[in-house]
Amino acid sequence: MQDTFFLAEDKDDVTRNIVLRSHTSSVQSRVMLTSQPPIRIICPGRVYRNEAITARAHCFFHQIEGLYIDKNVSFADLKQVLLYFAQELFGPDTKIRLRPSYFPFTEPSAEMDVSCMLCGGEGCSFCKHTGWVEILGCGMVDPNVLELCGIDSSIYTGYAFGVGVERITNLKYMVKDLRMFSENDTRFLEEFQAIH
């Protein structure tokens, strides 16, 4: 769905392109192929996308994906988990909204926005003056995906989501420019040291 990066490797007079992953979804697929429900996993990893580097986006970042498959899992379950996650992370007054979207392996699919912590929902450059910031994509696992992985979609349903770590860190710690996380400015990075 998006441009990505690759490395060219020359070996024995043959050039091979090695694609850098743009999602951590491959972990979900491998788990579904080798496990039977109930399945509950969290998949963290670094991902690479050929995107313009801005205060809100970078060409590499860290992503955490979640997958839950069991009997009677619904979109309402997904919404409640995401609301709980947002309010635990950002505070009890945090609001979320789910907007319809498209992802190849979920149906229905949505993008989740949270009320902007930097401006309190009033509108600023980080939230593009809307009061909302998109932090993750989510949806119900497409029944065809379940079937291709050997999971009976007439018995099991599930949801999946993927969240960018740097984006939520921007909001949690009110950092106005995501690029600061990768510029190696030790003065900035030292602000995030763990207390022993």
Q: At what angle do helices 165-172 and 75-90 cross, to 10 degrees?
A: 50
For the chain, how many helices (H) and strands (E)?
5, 8
**Span 151-162, average pLDDT:** 97
pLDDT, position 164 = 87
Q: With 70 as the cut, is the pLDDT of residue 132 above it?
A: yes
pLDDT(196) > 60: no
Which has more pLDDT, 160 or 6?
Answer: 160
Looking at residue 2, what is its pLDDT? 58
Q: How far is CA 137 from CA 16, 17, 141, 155, in A?
A: 32, 28, 12, 25
Q: Model pTM?
A: 0.83
In whole angstroms, what is the distance from residue 31 CA to residue 48 CA?
Answer: 22
If pLDDT is split at 50, 70 and 90, which confidence band does 1 have?
A: low
Mean pLDDT of 149-164: 96
Interval 71-117: pLDDT, tens: 999 999 999 999 999 999 999 989 999 999 999 899 999 999 998 87
The CATH code of the domain at 21-92+138-178 is 3.30.930.10
pLDDT, the chain, mean: 88
**Neighbouring C-beta atoms of residue 159, cutoff 10 Å:** 21
Q: How confident is the model at residue 195 (pLDDT cuts 50, 70, 90)?
A: low
Gyration radius (Cα) of the chain, Å: 19
pLDDT reported for residue 85: 95
DSSP-assigned letter for residue 130: T
